[in-house]
Amino acid sequence: MTVGREEINIELSGLNSLSLRRRLVRIPIGAVTSIRASAAEPDTIVAGIATPLTGVRTGVLERDGRSVLVVVKPGHPTVTFELDRVAFPDLQFDTVVLPIDASQVTAQ
């Protein structure tokens, strides 16, 4: 994940990009309405793809009419971005849940 002044870029690797049919998800900073961190994501089943070696699970869920992109590594902390699709209608997701690893977050 790369956080810039105008957008957040989420790069999906290998198998995890298959379920979305894309390697890069871009989120305009202005679309983010809230951010929250969770201590650990429970080991839940996520529709989509699970990478065998890393255990990362990727999928898109529909919850209460909202589209949720989930990229989780069970048992690891996550960060959740709530997005404003009314103001940014080109966004595919209302919510994005990502595993957080401070060593993989960069700022531009």
pLDDT for 24-72, tens place per residue?
889 999 999 999 888 765 555 555 556 666 667 777 888 788 888 888 8
Give residue limits of the domains in the chain. 2-107
| CA-to-CA dists, residue 10 to 28, 65, 81, 96, 99, angstroms | 11, 23, 12, 10, 11
pTM over 0.75: yes
Per-residue pLDDT band for 22 (boundaries 50, 70, 90) equals: confident
CB atoms inside a 10 Å sphere around CB 87: 11
pLDDT for 67-106, tens place per residue?
888 888 777 888 899 999 999 999 989 999 888 876 666 6
